[in-house]
Amino acid sequence: ADGCFININVGGFRQRMAHSVLRRLPQTRLARLLRCTSRAAILELCDDFSSSENEFYFDRNPVFFCSLHNFYLTGKLHLVDGLCVVSFFQELEYWGIKEHHLDLCCSNRFQELMRKICSSAENLSALEDELEEFEGSWCANVRRNIWIRLENPSYSTSAKVLAVLSVSAVVVSIVSMCLNSMPDFHQGDSDEKRIENPLLVLLENICILLFSGEFILRLVVAPSAKKFLSSALNIIDFLSILPFYVTLICDNTKKDGSKELENVGKVVQILRLTRVFRVLKLARHSAGLRSLGSTLRHSSREMGQLLLFLSLGVSLFSALIYFVERESKESQLQTIPVGWWWATISMTTVGYGDTIPVTVAGRLIGTLCIVCGLLIVALPITNIFNKFSKLHQRQR
């Protein structure tokens, strides 16, 4: 029986295959043909059958079957160039081939491509579910159209214009905030007190109004207010405009002469520093910043390893440098806490130079500390960088 052959015709590509070859993979479609005892059973596995020629016809992709035929002969399965990975996976399922049969040179590439497709499919499914939430709500079509343009800058020309305006407002606001911190741009009032430049204040107020309008518009047209308010990007948007209104209320309160509320106004000055959150608004329009946030979120294990390795190294080298430097009057490394600072800036290769070892033994320990720091930081950073690259490709 092992010397018998059957004729396979896949989309016009004919091949004669021995029973012994097919039986190497008994669970595949072709091997199951050998166990069929009736024409009806055969036609359940193939598209047509010629008993006179003993030929089984399959209306499938002949390009893939060439690779499949090579797999039967050599036991090695490779991806097919020019064939979509989804089609390749469907062909594998049709012929009854398990994906773990892929050779090592193609297995990792196949898994990566499938992960990208699954991720894209999940994002598309999430978007479709999000748009379905508009059904049955008030002004559904109008809100849906506005929402798509606000969330997807590539949707249309008007969406791109809105995105450019939003980014421009963020940049103008950041520049205005920076210039307001420079005394050269301050002006004097009637009491000869230095105040912020009125033009810069006007620009900042206009930007805040734009941010507020954008936030309110997004909230109004969002399919789900609860999901909207729990989104990290929307929380950033809210935190970027909140200090302005809190400061405005307290400034008006101080004019009323209330001493207690005037003291609150001093605290509000600290809130002005939180205007730096406006920089993070760029993440809404930057795939790189979103990828960075996703990387940090998905790299908690690697970040924990990095902190653990650094903590161990800092503790070890701070104790060693204290032991060899404590007898030197010229050295500043007279305590272990100071050694912590020195070991931290040395292992991270920052090297401010404010505290340095002065003894020969101390310098040898410093050299070893720097070399160990390079190795310790490099090990987890490689994994974090790989995750960033993968997430950035998905974001794009």
* pLDDT given for residue 342 in this prediction: 92
Sequence ranges of the domains in the chain: 5-115, 147-285, 297-395
Q: Which CATH number fits domain 5-115: 3.30.710.10, 2.40.128.20, 2.60.120.10, 3.40.50.1370?
A: 3.30.710.10
Q: Which residues pair with 195 in a beta bridge?
A: 187
- Angle of helix 85-95 versus helix 104-132 axis, rounded to 10: 110
8-state DSSP, 34: T
pTM surpassing 0.75? Answer: no
Quick one: CA dihedral 83, 85, 87, 88, positive or negative?
positive
User: CA 65, CA 13: separation in Å to the nearest integer?
Assistant: 8
One fold for both 5-115 and 147-285?
A: no
* pLDDT given for residue 368 in this prediction: 93
Contact 320, 359 (CB under 8 A): no
Count of other CB atoms within 10 angstroms of residue 94: 13
Q: Which residues, including other chains, have CB under 8 Å from residue 15's CB and lie 6 or more apart? A: 7, 8, 65, 69
E-only strand ranges, the chain: 5-10, 13-18, 48-50, 55-58, 187-188, 194-195
CATH 1.20.120.350 fits 147-285, yes or no: yes
Its CATH architecture, for the domain 297-395, is Orthogonal Bundle (1.10)
Q: Given phi > 0 = left and psi -120 to 50 = alpha, else beta, which region is 12? A: left
**Which of 362, 367, 335 minimizes the C-alpha distance to 351?**
367
Per-residue pLDDT of the chain (396 residues; tens, 9 = 90+): 444 888 999 988 898 888 888 888 888 999 998 888 888 999 999 999 988 888 899 998 888 888 888 888 888 888 887 778 888 888 889 999 888 888 888 888 888 777 777 766 666 566 666 666 677 677 778 888 888 888 777 778 888 888 888 888 888 888 887 887 787 777 766 666 667 778 888 888 888 888 888 889 888 888 878 888 888 778 888 887 887 887 777 766 655 555 555 555 556 556 666 666 667 666 666 666 677 777 777 778 888 888 888 899 999 999 999 999 888 888 888 899 999 999 999 998 888 888 889 999 999 999 999 999 988 888 788 778 877 777 666 665
**Which of 136, 166, 192, 190 minimizes the C-alpha distance to 282?**
166
User: CA 356, CA 330: separation in Å to the nearest integer?
Assistant: 10
Alpha helices in 78-139 (DSSP H): 85-95, 104-132
Q: 């406006």: which residue's tokens?
A: 278
Token pair for 36: 């069929």
* pLDDT given for residue 258 in this prediction: 53
∠ Cα 124 129 134 (to 5°)? 130
